[in-house]
Structure 1
Amino acid sequence: MMKSLWLMLAASVMLFAAPEVVKPHATIEVEGNVVEIVVKGEKLYAATDAGKMEVYDWKSRKLLSEVKFKKIHDFMGDEIEPKVFGVDVDRSGNRVLLLVQDEGGERILYIRESGKTERLLDKKAHISMREVRFVDDDHLLIATMSDELILFEISTKKELYRNKLSLSVFSDFQLNEDHTKVASTCESGIVYIVDVKSGKVLKKLEGGNKDNVFKVDYKNRSVLACGQDRKAVLYRLPSGSMTIYETDFLVYAGALNKDASLSAFSLNEKNDIGIFDNSTKEMKYRLTGQNSTLNTIIFINDKELISSSDDNKILIWRLP
């Protein structure tokens, strides 16, 4: 009798602790596979491998506009659609950066404003651009494949500094809210906190991930690092204290909400997303329905998220 009571109690505790399963609220289908998404207000910008960047109203899921790039030739001489590797939007929402595949393995950086798309940087600049973000109206932060950070001035088209962070290959970076600092990471698993204006390394966050970090987020003096070693690591600044979340698969994508009280990251081979309470370390929700490898997760607010993966579907989630 006593044994049965204990079993019932254990089952009830497990049931109570189990995260609530959430299905997608809505889906946006794009042309080609999504490489990256950025959200600015009610607009969603999707970079794709079909030579296009598409802009949607994510609430109505209506296509607002698109930018199409001309075909290029691959190494065999065949015509292909260029891959749009990255997209970013300035704070005003008026200018868009587009990092686009070029012939010979090169990349071109375009800036788009008032319906016009202009070439800003190409192979003549001798910068192996991996990721580019607006810092302010006249400055860009560029990460190279060899793990260099470059502060670039748009008006003069000059580099203000070039700082090599490590001997490893660059993976990802994320600016903080006021764009004064950046969390930059690489295949070593170390996350560097860098002063954007000077390029000076302020702090190294290490010990959590032992291998390549695929994705990093930086909000409210907290950094989330998502790694190849099946760990999502939450660092708190300035102390550098960390919380390690173990998963069942490589953690390709992750994000923090505005105050860093919640973490979202991929959990397993099914591409489920776990929503964790960072104070209790408990999984509150399991988001199921993503069919391909995740590449981007964005908190719109504490109850709404948007995610994309290596296919043509962008999923919109609403938490209970």
Structure 2
Amino acid sequence: MMKKIVLSFFLIIGVVFATTAELEDTLQLDGAISEISISGGKAFVATERGKVQIVDLKTHEVIDEILYPKFEDFMGDLQLPKVFSVDVSPDHQIIAAAIQASRGGREVYIYKDGKLTKIISRKMHLPVVKVRFVDNQHLILGLSGDEVVLFDINNKKVIYRNSVGMSFFSDMEINEDKTKIAITDESGDTRIIDVKTGKIVKIIEELNKDKAFDVDFRNNRTFTGGRDKKAVYYNLSTDKYRVFESDDFMVFSVALSPSGKKGAYIYNDKFDIKVVYTEEGSTITYLRGHKSTPGAIKFITEDKIIVGCDDGKIFFWRLKK
């Protein structure tokens, strides 16, 4: 009887961890990584040292980079700006980035045909944390005061500026058809916003019990990570959710696969990333070997994951059975 129990235990373990992760490659970039955007077979990596570095996802090499102007700090010295957010237009031709500016301000630049153009100056007093393209002519901006802005790029004009919460903004992600955005903030709640109107259409309440740091939004599903040491998956089609625990560590970064059926989140203080089946709640595998906090996690495909860390290192992972 005991032999059967032991055998059953190992069979269960074998099923749970039937999928393993292979580290395909690593790449050292210039500065801590704040965000990664995937577009047209390339990764656009925002760093804290004034650059967006463009990485070919086949060769895993840096093929180009965009340099942003230095800003004047409070002592009057010139410093390299942090690039807070980066996104690429649907036609893959325009790169938008929100960067640090003088006197505590923020600015937004677009890069097109080799030319860098400032479209939002710090004098416009828009404290931009996040940028996302709606189409080739419009951006959705997430502001630090829990506001969203729809911005006309060509006319450099605000179409609407709406308050969506009473807390300090944390993160924002847009869905695949560019019709809705998910916003998280210090309250821990997730608000779903209609892009066309800027109005709240749904609030996912009290699942993260404290500040949510990060959100992903894929296939009508959201995934958030918070200070309460939890990652929360929510299926907007069914209103079903699942809470994933960390190993006593705040969940700073999360990611969903394109289908939304797999999720990844920072798991512990060793900077391991746990990969899970979101609906079933079971563990797929762990990604181990990161030496600093993974500030950005992205699924490239259902089985390929890119991780960017605070030490400037990128990891290319592949899930395999």
TM interval, shorter chain, is over 0.9
Equivalent residue of 1:25, what SS? strand
Equivalent-residue separation in structure 1 for 2:22 and 2:116 (angstroms): 38
Kindly, what percent of the aligned residue pairs are identical? 36
Deviation per CA, 1:109-159: give whole Å up to 9, x if none: 101100000110012212111111111122110111010011111222222
Contact 1:50 1:82 in 2 (8 A): yes
Residues 23-102 of structure 1: pairs in structure 2 closer than 5 A: 23-102=22-101
Query: What's the TM-score, normalizing by structure 1?
Result: 0.94
Contact 1:24 1:289 in 2 (8 A): no
Equivalent-residue separation in structure 2 for 1:155 and 1:116 (angstroms): 15
Equivalent residue of 1:208, what SS? coil
Equivalent-residue separation in structure 2 for 1:57 and 1:318 (angstroms): 16
Letter in 1 for 2:60: R
Equivalent residue of 1:24, what SS? strand
Equivalent-residue separation in structure 2 for 1:71 and 1:142 (angstroms): 22
Aligned-residue offset at 1:315: 0.7
Letter in 2 for 1:43: K
Equivalent-residue separation in structure 2 for 1:69 and 1:178 (angstroms): 30
Residues 1-320 of structure 1: pairs in structure 2 closer than 5 A: 2-3=1-2, 6-7=5-6, 9-14=8-13, 16-18=15-17, 21-248=20-247, 249-320=249-320
Deviates more, 1:41-50 or 1:18-27: 18-27
Equivalent residue of 2:279, what SS? coil
Letter in 1 for 2:311: D
Equivalent residue of 2:23, what SS? coil
Contact 2:20 2:319 in 1 (8 A): no
Contact 1:19 1:283 in 2 (8 A): no
Long gaps (5+) in structure 1:
none
Deviates more, 1:59-68 or 1:205-214: 59-68
Deviates more, 1:139-148 or 1:234-243: 234-243
Aligned-residue offset at 1:73: 2.8
Equivalent-residue separation in structure 1 for 2:117 and 2:272 (angstroms): 39
Letter in 1 for 2:269: E
Aligned-residue offset at 1:21: 4.9
Letter in 2 for 1:190: D
Aligned-residue offset at 1:23: 4.6
Deviates more, 1:146-155 or 1:68-77: 68-77
Deviation per CA, 1:146-199: give whole Å up to 9, x if none: 100111112222221111111100011111110001111111011011110001
Equivalent residue of 1:100, what SS? strand
Equivalent-residue separation in structure 1 for 2:42 and 2:21 (angstroms): 24
Long gaps (5+) in structure 2:
none
Letter in 2 for 1:301: T
Deviation per CA, 1:244-264: give whole Å up to 9, x if none: 111111111111111111111
Contact 2:107 2:120 in 1 (8 A): yes
Equivalent-residue separation in structure 2 for 1:174 and 1:155 (angstroms): 23
- Shift of the 274–69 alpha-carbon distance from structure 1 to 2, 3 Å rule, reads same
Equivalent-residue separation in structure 1 for 2:96 and 2:64 (angstroms): 15
Equivalent-residue separation in structure 2 for 1:58 and 1:18 (angstroms): 27
Letter in 2 for 1:282: S
Letter in 2 for 1:275: V
Aligned residues: 319
Equivalent-residue separation in structure 1 for 2:11 and 2:318 (angstroms): 27
